[in-house]
Chains A and B, each alone.
Chain A
């Protein structure tokens, strides 16, 4: 049996790269220089499986997490009894699992596979973990958030690490760039180290374009209404980042996440430090109209959202289809608008459901729509308005539907070439109509005052 297994594994590891086997034109992909134009399919498989074993062993023997003391009996029971929804913390289900999925995805992505071909590895790693990595029955919400959220975060971290990496750098500069990429995308960093790409000098991928990365950082205070009124809320420090790569109107679509947006907010004096994480990557785009400088474009994005504050919690994976437009009001003033629909694959929404000490939220798929407008002058954003609505149909938790709305108004004035001061008002509303429980309305206004630095 051992020899057979070894033969199978060797067959997988040493199998010719599909790109070469099928007689395609071989093109060197400098995203993975050591892949030499092919893919390391077998290595990706072994890394994906090995990652689950490694995480389990660390949790069993170092962290001493008894939920991962797996045995053949627990595997058999999981296979017999099948799927359920778990009662873990919101942050575990909506952040930790997608992060784990990001590494699963990148075991393939960093071995030369493209975005689409890496998706099965995110799913496979999650399946193995759910059935064999924990003593609990496999959790369907984990499988979805690890796979779909993992793909979104995985491609985002792959693209972010590509912006940091520089195959032409040498010396200390090269070392720190590789270290930064390792922190952003551990699977890629480890593969680059073991296959010699940390030190190999050569061309960069032709689409490496760090100059297209724009962003801003905001630091300030926020006041949240937690039920006693906005005037009773206390000011809390926050730090927020927004990174945008590319321009969906100016750049023709080339590949998934060639244009992306990544936002994060860190909140002080809250139960959870990470208050918001959002990742939106373009999956498809085409200009509308024949103009050389198109004013409108149709775009499809894959979205990951995570909001975790004391006032409300919302997380989920979705796909959005929308139209972005840009109007030049004058040589300096620009109005950008967006309108779109959203298919929500699975969202987690705080609710009146209670199952154990950690589970106070529902799960469900849904539909959403959003409208937005942004007025800017010479690259500086003066005014932003956005509205989003979502209808979530619960499939686990309390039977019923959630209707969620969020209105954001943001205004700022420049105080220098790259600095500005501003304020933001956010109004979040949840109406939950339950089948066997009274309907609930929750209003959560929030005010922010901030200093913004554009880079």
Chain B
């Protein structure tokens, strides 16, 4: 099992001939599942929630190894019968170690909005806050046909906010970390 794993890792990074040279405008759309780990200064414990996630991203090509662009992304979940979401916009830098392989690493920076709803008996109260979003991930462009790629990606987006006011009191210095497991279609 271990030998094939090393072989696969080597092939993923270095495999030649699977993707055409990077060039020009590109757009990608897709979605998947994501887990959100929520922690804060006044929280008694770290909570984890799962929900669907999605994205649209587009951009241009700086060099054969580098693409830059922007991304709109969302995650949402139902927590104890109320809705919570994180929606964001961020700039992305994508790096292809080999221009003849599809493997890439990606880092991003932007803003996200966290919103949670709280059932306080006879009504549902919402609380929202805008924070920074910082992301890092890896993925692979698998060619389907000329100009079209299937793009599996694993990424993490971290969204810190100073306070979320809840009916039970403020949650201070919240850090929401979303682990995104997504599949996309990339056109270029």
Contact indicator A140/B66 (Cβ below 8 Å): no
Residue of A with least CB distance to B175: A83
Q: Kindly state the separation between the CA atoms of A8 and B12 in the bound complex, as whole angstroms.
A: 11
Q: Contact check: which of A4, A84, A114, A363 meets B63 at CB < 8 Å?
A: A114
CB distance from B177 to the nearest CB of A (A): 5
Q: Identify which of B24-32, B118-126, B130-138, B146-154 touches chain A.
A: B130-138
Q: Is A147 an interface residue (CB 8 A)?
A: yes
Contact indicator A81/B46 (Cβ below 8 Å): yes
Q: Is B116 an interface residue (CB 8 A)?
A: no
Interface size for A (C-beta < 8 A) is: 48
Q: Is A394 an interface residue (CB 8 A)?
A: yes
In the assembled complex, which residues on chain B have CB atoms less than 8 Å from the CB atom of A147? Answer: 107
Contact indicator B62/A116 (Cβ below 8 Å): yes
Contact indicator A119/B175 (Cβ below 8 Å): no
Secondary structure of the B contact surface, majority rule: strand
Contact indicator B134/A116 (Cβ below 8 Å): no
Contact indicator B132/A22 (Cβ below 8 Å): no
Q: Contact check: which of B134, B173, B177 meets A396 at CB < 8 Å?
A: B173
In the assembled complex, which residues on chain A have CB atoms less than 8 Å from the CB atom of B128? Answer: none
Name, among B10, B39, B99, B162, the residue most crowded by chain A CB atoms within 10 Å (CB to CB): B162
Contact indicator B107/A394 (Cβ below 8 Å): no
Interface mask (B1-33 → A, CB under 8 Å = 1, otherwise 0) = 011011101100110100001000000000000
Given A81-B46, A85-B160, A397-B162, A117-B175 contact (CB < 8 Å):
no
In the assembled complex, which residues on chain A have CB atoms less than 8 Å from the CB atom of B113? Answer: none
Q: Kindly state the separation between the CA atoms of A396 and B163 in the bound complex, as whole angstroms.
A: 8
In the assembled complex, which residues on chain A have CB atoms less than 8 Å from the CB atom of B134? Answer: 140, 143-144
Interface mask (B56-85 → A, CB under 8 Å = 1, otherwise 0) = 000000111110000000000000000000
In the assembled complex, which residues on chain A have CB atoms less than 8 Å from the CB atom of B39? Answer: 81-82, 84
Residue of B with least CB distance to A117: B65
Contact indicator A345/B6 (Cβ below 8 Å): no
Q: Kindly state the separation between the CA atoms of A12 and B101 in the bound complex, as whole angstroms.
A: 14
Contact indicator B3/A395 (Cβ below 8 Å): no
Q: Is A378 an interface residue (CB 8 A)?
A: no
Q: Is B95 an interface residue (CB 8 A)?
A: yes
Given A4-B2, A393-B130, A15-B63 contact (CB < 8 Å):
no
Q: Is A135 an interface residue (CB 8 A)?
A: no
Q: Kindly state the separation between the CA atoms of A11 and B109 in the bound complex, as whole angstroms.
A: 32
Q: Contact check: which of B97, B98, B132, B175 meets A364 at CB < 8 Å?
A: B132
Contact indicator B175/A22 (Cβ below 8 Å): no
Within 8 A of B (CB), among A1-29: 1, 3-5, 7-8, 11-12, 15, 18, 21-22, 24
Contact indicator A11/B162 (Cβ below 8 Å): no
In the assembled complex, which residues on chain B have CB atoms less than 8 Å from the CB atom of A395? Answer: 131-132, 160-162
In the assembled complex, which residues on chain A have CB atoms less than 8 Å from the CB atom of B6? Answer: 4-5, 7-8
Q: Kindly state the separation between the CA atoms of A18 and B99 in the bound complex, as whole angstroms.
A: 7
Residue of B with least CB distance to A24: B64
Given A114-B63, A117-B65, A395-B162, A84-B132 contact (CB < 8 Å):
no
Q: Kindly state the separation between the CA atoms of A62 and B150 in the bound complex, as whole angstroms.
A: 49
Q: Is B142 an interface residue (CB 8 A)?
A: no
Q: Is A365 an interface residue (CB 8 A)?
A: yes
Q: Contact check: which of A8, A22, A345 meets B100 at CB < 8 Å?
A: A22
In the assembled complex, which residues on chain B have CB atoms less than 8 Å from the CB atom of A127? Answer: 136
Q: Is B52 an interface residue (CB 8 A)?
A: no
What are 22 of the A-B contact pairs (CB < 8 Å)? A1-B2, A4-B6, A11-B13, A12-B10, A18-B64, A18-B65, A18-B99, A22-B99, A83-B175, A116-B62, A116-B63, A116-B95, A119-B95, A119-B107, A143-B134, A148-B109, A363-B160, A365-B132, A393-B130, A395-B132, A397-B162, A435-B162
Which residues in A have some Cβ–Cβ distance to B below 8 Å?
A: 1, 3-5, 7-8, 11-12, 15, 18, 21-22, 24, 41, 81-85, 114, 116-117, 119-120, 123-124, 127, 140, 143-144, 147-148, 345-346, 362-365, 393-400, 435-436
| 18 more CB-based (< 8 A) A-B contacts, given A84-B39, A116-B62 | A1-B2, A3-B3, A8-B6, A12-B13, A12-B14, A21-B99, A21-B100, A22-B98, A24-B64, A81-B46, A82-B39, A83-B175, A85-B175, A119-B93, A120-B105, A123-B107, A144-B134, A399-B170
